Amino acid sequence: MLTEKIMPRFSETDVLGHINNTVLPVWFEAARAPIFKIFTPDLNPHNWKLIVAKVEVVFKGELFYGQEVAVKTMIEKLGNSSFVILQQAWQHGECCAEGRTVMVRYDFASKSSQLLSDAEREALSAYLL
């Protein structure tokens, strides 16, 4: 499991005083960087090998400004050319949001999915639930 610590910014709060629902997908994407590096070590977008097929976020509780959030990232499922990333946002010992992102190994030149290589599968397996 990967863990990224985030300190919510004031600009991420909404009129109700908690973290806006639009922020969680951004935090989750930022916390996926170690997964992205498996495919593109230098994170150069001209050599990118992944696309997002689906994103979902389930909100379980409120998150608040000025209080650290731990984003936990795991691989939930490995397919032939895709995988599911499970992420959770924790604050004060409670899981306040959970997200799933389906990523696909992709060749932008041929506009088609590609099988995950053995090395990619092995690297992703290190974070498998």
CA 76 – CA 81 distance, rounded (Å)? 14
Tell me what pLDDT residue 34 has: 97
User: In CATH, which of 3.50.50.60, 3.40.50.720, 3.40.120.10, 3.10.129.10 is domain 2-125?
Assistant: 3.10.129.10
The residues with which 90 forms a beta bridge, in sequence order, are 70, 95
Q: What is the pLDDT tens value at each position of the chain, 129 positions in all?
A: 999 999 999 999 988 889 999 999 999 999 999 999 999 999 999 999 999 999 999 999 999 999 999 999 999 999 999 999 999 999 999 999 999 999 999 999 999 999 999 999 999 999 999
Amino acid at 124: L
* Rounded (5°) CA angle 32-34-38: 115
Tell me what pLDDT residue 27 has: 97
Give the CA diameter of the chain.
Answer: 48
For the entire predicted model, the pTM comes to 0.93
Domain boundaries along the sequence of the chain:
2-125
Tell me what pLDDT residue 22 has: 93
Tell me what pLDDT residue 52 has: 97
